[in-house]
């Protein structure tokens, strides 16, 4: 705890004064552009990875960057998604998985989670991802399939979030965009899901292609 306490003191002395105007503005409200859903893993820092500051991301975290399909049973993720989309008006939703994900290891081997019943039940939301990979591999999977399961889980959580009414309404009116990412802890690279090709590309490849398509569309109008 000592480094946390000294960190707060450093923030108050050195960091806050330099950004005081920003914090004064934020004290009266928030207007984030992005809902960023990622894993609770301590190695992931969304603001560091995206180089964003306070007020720019509305961040939701849980084991496995899971988005439960919408139901009438209220949960923290459901309420947070509804608030971010319907109340704050975010224009983008990023679901970001990561390498060496313990939750995905648990999804691959649920029998190892017998002593963690709530974790095991929560990771049931990842079953579609493991079943898809099993089907591709012709049966059993193990931790050698971790990367594939991690990517497939991001794809499936993108499907889940489409079932939330607030998201579905914004998608129908083209007022929101969905993004699926996988962050590599060791290299710092980010792979992004390209829905048109159903594959993951580097962030530079995907968004360069998107920018080019937008530019070409503008030229033809």
Q: Are strands 57-62 and 190-194 parallel, antiparallel or unpaired?
A: unpaired
Q: Is residue 169 situated within a structural domain?
A: yes
Q: Is residue 9 situated within a structural domain?
A: no
Position 188 pLDDT exceeds 60: yes
Position 53 pLDDT exceeds 70: yes
With a pLDDT cut of 70, the percent of the chain lying above it is 94
Binding residues: 39, 41, 98, 101
Position 219 pLDDT exceeds 50: no
Position 215 pLDDT exceeds 50: no
Q: Is residue 131 situated within a structural domain?
A: yes
Q: Is residue 49 situated within a structural domain?
A: yes
Question: What is the model's pTM?
Answer: 0.91
Binding residues for Zn(2+): 39, 41, 98, 101
Distances (CA, A) of 137 to 140, 174, 193: 7, 36, 21
Count of C-beta atoms within a 10 Å radius of residue 191: 23
Number of domains in the chain: 1
Q: Is residue 20 situated within a structural domain?
A: no
Position 216 pLDDT exceeds 50: no
- Computed from CA positions of residues 210, 97, 135, 71, in that sequence, does the dihedral angle turn out positive or negative? negative
Using only C-alpha atoms, the chain has a radius of gyration, in whole angstroms, of 19
The enclosing domain of 168 has a CATH number of 3.40.1050.10
Q: Is residue 10 situated within a structural domain?
A: no
Q: Which pLDDT value is given to residue 210?
A: 59
Q: Is residue 85 situated within a structural domain?
A: yes
What are the two backbone dihedrals, phi and then psi, of residue 91, each rounded to the nearest 5 degrees? -105, -10
Distance CA 191, CA 96 (A): 9
More confident residue, 219 or 207: 207
The parent domain of residue 72 ranges over 31-220
Q: What is the mean pLDDT of the chain?
A: 93
Q: Is residue 141 situated within a structural domain?
A: yes
């Amino acid at each position: 705890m000592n480094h946390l306490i000294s960190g707060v003191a450093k923030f108050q002395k050195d960091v806050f004064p330099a950004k005081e105007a920003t914090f004064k503005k934020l004290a009266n409200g928030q207007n984030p552009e992005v809902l960023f859903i990622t894993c609770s893993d301590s190695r992931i820092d969304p603001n560091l990875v995206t180089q964003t500051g306070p007020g720019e991301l509305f961040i939701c975290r849980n084991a496995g960057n899971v988005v439960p399909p919408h139901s009438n049973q209220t949960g923290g993720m459901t309420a947070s998604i509804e608030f971010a989309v319907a109340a704050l008006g975010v224009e983008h939703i990023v679901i970001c998985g990561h390498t060496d994900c313990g939750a995905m290891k648990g999804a691959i081997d649920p029998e190892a989670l017998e002593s963690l019943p709530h974790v095991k039940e929560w990771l049931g939301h990842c079953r579609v991802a493991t079943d898809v990979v099993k089907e591709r591999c012709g049966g059993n999977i193990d931790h050698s399939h971790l990367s594939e399961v991690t990517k497939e889980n991001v794809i499936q959580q993108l499907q889940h979030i489409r079932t939330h009414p607030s998201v579905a309404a914004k998608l129908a009116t083209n007022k929101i965009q969905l993004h699926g990412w996988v962050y590599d802890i060791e290299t710092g690279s980010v792979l992004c899901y390209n829905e048109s090709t159903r594959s993951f590309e580097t962030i530079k490849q995907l968004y360069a292609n998107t920018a080019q398509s937008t530019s070409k569309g503008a030229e033809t109008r």
